[in-house]
Amino acid sequence: MGSRIVATGRATPRTCLSNHDLARHMDTSDEWVRSRTGIVQRYVMASGESLVELAAEASRIALSRAGLKPTAIDAIVVGTISSDYGFPSFGCQLQYQLGLDTIPAFDVAAACSGFVYALSVADASMRAGDWGRVLVIGADALSTMVDWNDRSTAVLFGDGAGAAVMVNEPGDRGVLSSLLRSSGQYWELLAVRNRGVQTTIDSEARRQSADAIRMKGSELFKLAVKSMADITLQVAQRACVSLQDIQLIVPHQANLRIINAVAQRLGLPPEKVFTNVDRYGNTSAASVPIALDEALESNRIHDNDLVMLNACGGGLTWGANLLRW
Ligand code: ACO
């Protein structure tokens, strides 16, 4: 038995901020942000919105495309570092939003690698025969965690949620291989001391620097390129697949320069790498499922294609999943 993604969905907040919008409030420019990151706009949470509700919206879309009712789901695994409050978990709140009860619902905190981690956790439990149908979510709202006076981080992040319905089934389609890695020695390269996001969203208060994301961008850049390239190769080798046989890579959308550098290191042509960072910014754990959903919508993925998901994020965490679609 293997586990296969049968449908996906995505949801973003209502407010869209372009680089020009940001340049009106801080010392930056559309040219700087585009040339350094490839980002043109991003969606951000505003007062009255809830990230759990966005995740529920993405989940309902994915479930409806899968032809399943929420009650058909055996477990919810959420990749996130943006639970509304210190606790309980995002997973439990999403379970409540979806009108479900008693099934296991929990979070996997791996920052931008959250979805890749959550997918791997779900796949392992499904292979073990524990669950037949799982809702795997990536959701984050890092725009609520930045110090809006810190232009080096404020321009990078957007908010959103992506969902995937995974089903256990016989055959050779689905998750072929996954690898997860972490390196806590680099934790200070990207850190935030205060995680709960709802208070920030509701009050529209901007976080002060002590409470906000702190980042060492250039060190992260180098580690992200190396770790994503290495893990992609390792997962392919583990599944005895050549990189040339992979039809599409759907990477974490942190930064176009990181994505291009990874592709170059792996010798992959641009047409084999999906990007949408220009329209969403870095949505952390939501970026891979949002990108996957858009790749499917634009017919970039066909039955039996080999698809690689890869990510790197705070922790440091990194990982990849190879899927036969
Ligand atoms: N607008 C204008 N100028 C800015 C801005 C801004 N938004 N932000 C920083 N600058 C200035 C700095 O103050 C600095 O000025 P100085 O030289 O006078 O001190 C200068 O720009 C730095 O410029 P560069 O060195 O050219 O910047 P770099 O090419 O390193 O790009 C960036 C910075 C985009 C942050 C890059 O290091 C990066 O992408 N790092 C990865 C960070 C990342 O993706 N984090 C997300 C989480 S981790 C992950 O998802 C993998």
Query: Closest Cα to atom 48, ligand 1: which residue?
Result: 313
The CATH number covering residue 130 comes to: 3.40.47.10
What's the gap in Å between 238 CA and the centre of ligand 1? 35
Q: Is the CB of 12 under 6 A from ligand 1?
A: no
What's the gap in Å between 218 CA and the centre of ligand 1? 7
C-alpha angle 226-229-232 in degrees, rounded to nearest 5: 140
Spatial separation of the C-alpha atoms in residues 65 and 61, rounded to whole Å? 6
Region 244-259: mean pLDDT is 98
Whether residue 199 is predicted with pLDDT greater than 80 in this model: the reply is no
pLDDT of residue 90: 97
Both structure tokens of 63: 């479930």
For 85-106, how does the pLDDT look when each residue is reduced to its tens digit (9 = 90+)?
Answer: 878 999 999 999 999 999 999 9
Decide: helix, strand or coil at residue 114: helix
Region 261-273: mean pLDDT is 97
Rg (CA), the chain: 18
Region 195-217: mean pLDDT is 77
Spatial separation of the C-alpha atoms in residues 289 and 192, rounded to whole Å? 23
8 A C-beta contact, residue 140 and residue 80: yes
| Residues acting as catalytic residues | 112, 252, 282
Closest listed residue to residue 110, CA positions, set 83, 79, 87, 135: 79
pLDDT of residue 194: 73
> What total number of domains does the chain contain?
1
Query: Closest Cα to atom 15, ligand 1: which residue?
Result: 152
Query: Closest Cα to atom 44, ligand 1: which residue?
Result: 254
pLDDT category at 212 given cuts 50, 70, 90 is confident
Which atom of ligand 1 lies closest to the CA of 22? 7
What's the gap in Å between 217 CA and the centre of ligand 1? 6
Q: Which domain holds residue 284?
A: 1-325
> Crossing angle of helices 114-127/287-297, nearest 10°?
80
Region 37-44: mean pLDDT is 98
* pTM of the predicted model as reported, rounded to 2 decimal places: 0.95
DSSP bridge pairs for 137:
78, 163
Q: Which of 152, 215, 227 to mutate to test the pocket of ligand 1 (most atoms within 8 A of CB)?
A: 152
Q: Which of 221, 290, 316 to mutate to test the pocket of ligand 1 (most atoms within 8 A of CB)?
A: 221
What's the gap in Å between 207 CA and the centre of ligand 1? 20
